[in-house]
Amino acid sequence: MNLPAGLCDNNLEVFMHEGILKASFDGKIQLFDDLPEDIKTIFLDYMLENPTAIKSMHSMGKSDINEMLIQYVSCRFGGFDNNPDLNPETQKLLPEYWDCGHRNACPFEGKICEMVKVGDTYLTKREIMVIQEIALGFPDKNAADKLHISELTFVVHKRNIYAKMGINSKTELVTFAIKNNIVSL
């Protein structure tokens, strides 16, 4: 049985639940704010390495450092995916793509959740869904049916994604999807 990171190991999994940032760590589920200061400092240092995100949050009226940290961590790590977001021993953070429900309508999109950024543009929510279906190996017809679109529309999305990303193969697409936590295999 696969238990969430942090419940039976030394890792940490951050996730949003009912609008509140929480973490599984040290054998229990706790509020992000209640994590040890050294753990929160790892996330803070990571945030401070991203001036674009900080500038974006300031421009949207966020100036309190704790409020900014909560926003940043929720955007970059908020999905519950059973993959650890932090290994405290190595202090390695593993940000993830996750669908927060605000895709294409969030003022922070592309400024905090940079993993949906491709070159000078962004992947749309629909493009992410198409990438997930391709990466999972579904034939175009089955994937289109699952997404409730025509096969032709699916193929057009696929062609546009390949062009947007400057790639030519499914292997490159799957590699990108895994690297950016769009899928986990």
Give the pLDDT confidence score for residue 112 in this predicted structure.
Answer: 85
DSSP strands (E only) in the chain: 13-17, 20-25, 28-31, 86-87, 92-93, 117-118, 121-122
pLDDT digits (tens, 9 = 90+) for 47-63: 999 998 899 999 989 99
Give the pLDDT confidence score for residue 124 in this predicted structure.
Answer: 83
- Residue 185's pLDDT band (boundaries 50, 70, 90)? low
Q: Please give the average per-residue pLDDT across 24-33, as a whole number.
A: 95
Structural domains in the chain plus CATH codes: 13-93 (no CATH), 123-179 (1.10.10.10)
146 backbone dihedrals φ, ψ, rounded to 5°: -60, -35
Q: Per-residue pLDDT for 182 more than 80?
A: yes
Distance of CA 33 to the CA centre of its chain: 20
